[in-house]
Structure 1
């Protein structure tokens, strides 16, 4: 993008923000939001949490649900998410209910996300109408945006929490979290719990709850393809955004090299959009097991929980692996200018490794040979 175009875009963004600020203030004054009950933070009857974003975005903030449930054991805690993410919180004991909020903003599932689409959804969608009937005491917009603020107001939620310094809307909130690009996203989400008085915070690591049947099925899949002495390795070469991905040619070369080791058994996993890439990888490494596009999210989680190493892009898979403390090597694509900043926002303190560019230190992504050397040196491979 040229300097002139960047300037025009910046001016557009400033003007749009001013307009949305005015509209939000006007709507806040006009909307008949119920009065706050006495001491709304002490014994809230209900809490609504909006997270209509992508899979990894939901998975990384699941510790917040744990924190709120421990603080408010009798409170109705309801999660508003897209239909695509429901498997992530299946069997989660910390939520009372899920409400589908297939909102057309800040996700890669719904294609139409123009301003007209957004306002049409907020003011005419049956999903939002159902939400407003619930009469929630507290509403949390974890992402923090103008659209989330409008939705919480439309739902007539009297006490609202949002984010300042990211995508707007904090003016309509009673409290807000300050956006910090160097703070891990899950930790930032836990700050909402702190605003509500929570002091005993859970570990900042995703939470997934598998049934004994799901675990048994995952073990069965592994035992059918791997011996007891083989290291169980998962490779997930897909991601929601191609620019985030480590190059496919690099994955092909890396997996071909790894598949020659009798001490490893490699399973490829991913969604239907990753099928073509997986076919190219498996055709060059016939010893791998290709399950891409053949499993549900729950089946993928069970397989991940019983693995011993995960190789993936910056994607939902690194959060799933973190939920079970599985050693993970995240291979960052060319769009990430700083490995350190990526890890500050999305990484974990243990069982987590990443390789990518770094400002002022390294201007190229890692090659397959460098990845192998790193894995050997850090004893990630048996």
Structure 2
């Protein structure tokens, strides 16, 4: 069985996509899985042993990128896939499955993809409340029972131990002192980001109690991380924008605790199976929880039925919102470290 999959475009979604890859291997022991992925989460495929071949498609967010899609199609034209699965719901994302000439082309109907898909699935959010259930369902027969969340195989990224050790030496971490990673970013927007002053309070407490604290994130998070260090009044290690995505995987694997918003790095921390505290503000763990038995989830209170919290980019002026307190995070830290 040769399967071609067009992956999601976000880092966290790519981590969760590994649940589908694992289920396909359970269903078809001799399966070959090839994955097409956009640039942003692409490197993570190197850490997923379920994937045989991976192909980067150089698309831009919000752009059709016709030429890039045609280039990948030509590259794969002699692969003879049996099945193409499109994970995103956009019309353009289903093109490569269609061009692959796979006899079975599966995906949610999404943007009216009648001609592109011949195994069209209805997205019933009541039957598929979790994102990973939606992903896994695409690898099952249409009438199959969808596994409960606890029965879905969790993502687990491979770690390059040599690279991890190299980073520990480069950062001059001291043995015997706990390593705590703070990840203050969230690509979706400020509504997901716990305030910098709260992270600063946590960082100060951690350093004063003897922990080594680093900040991980993209270049966009560098200024926020600098603000956290400045407000904390203690020395932190700001790695935002200074690591690759795979470096972040390896560094996180060495941490004794990760504290983050609902973000791509939250899902990476879950996939390297370290203790973590996940802070949910506008989003909800009832849709995209960290798939990690060692995760602690803290949820802000949101008592306002007049707005769709999931779609909020900012919480400014939103009534009925009570944030996760720094004290509640401190209590969880004490129970872990």
Q: TM-score range by the shorter chain?
A: 0.7 to 0.9
Distance change in 2, residues 1:375/1:212 (3 Å): same
Counterpart in 1 of 2:100?
Answer: 155
Counterpart in 2 of 1:258?
Answer: 205
Counterpart in 1 of 2:316?
Answer: none
What stretches of structure 1 of length at least 5 have no aligned partner? 1-43, 104-109
C-alpha RMSD over aligned residues: 3.1
Larger Rg: 1
Counterpart in 1 of 2:159?
Answer: 210
Equivalent of 1:304, from 252, 261, 267?
252
How many angstroms apart in 2 are the aligned matches of 1:87 and 1:293?
16
Counterpart in 1 of 2:274?
Answer: 326
Counterpart in 1 of 2:5?
Answer: 49
Q: Deviations over 1:135-159 (max 9, x none)?
A: 3210001123322333322332220
How many angstroms apart in 2 are the aligned matches of 1:257 and 1:73?
50
Distance change in 2, residues 1:160/1:233 (3 Å): same
Contact 1:252 1:284 in 2 (8 A): no
How many angstroms apart in 1 are the aligned matches of 2:222 and 2:170?
19
Equivalent of 1:363, from 314, 320, 323?
320
Equivalent of 1:280, from 224, 227, 251?
227
State whether structure 2 residue 12 is matched by structure 1 residue 66: no
How many angstroms apart in 2 are the aligned matches of 1:85 and 1:211?
17
Q: Deviations over 1:68-110 (max 9, x none)?
A: 234334333100102332321214321111122234xxxxxx2
TM-score, structure 1 as length reference? 0.72
TM-score, structure 2 as length reference? 0.81
Distance change in 2, residues 1:136/1:254 (3 Å): same
Matches within 5 A, 1:90-239: 90-103=46-59, 110-113=60-63, 117=64, 122=69, 125-164=70-109, 166-169=110-113, 172-176=117-121, 178-180=123-125, 183-195=129-141, 203-220=152-169, 224-228=172-176, 230-239=177-186
Equivalent of 1:343, from 282, 285, 293?
285
How many angstroms apart in 1 are the aligned matches of 2:108 and 2:334?
40
Distance change in 2, residues 1:363/1:308 (3 Å): farther
Counterpart in 1 of 2:45?
Answer: 89
Q: Deviations over 1:145-175 (max 9, x none)?
A: 32233332233222011014x5442663324
4+ residue runs over 6 A deviation: 196-202
Counterpart in 2 of 1:24?
Answer: none
Counterpart in 1 of 2:315?
Answer: none
Between the two proteins, the alignment pairs up a number of residues equal to 316
Distance change in 2, residues 1:365/1:329 (3 Å): farther
Q: Deviations over 1:122-141 (max 9, x none)?
A: 5xx31233233433210001
What stretches of structure 2 of length at least 5 have no aligned partner? 306-318
How far is 1:283 from its partner?
2.6
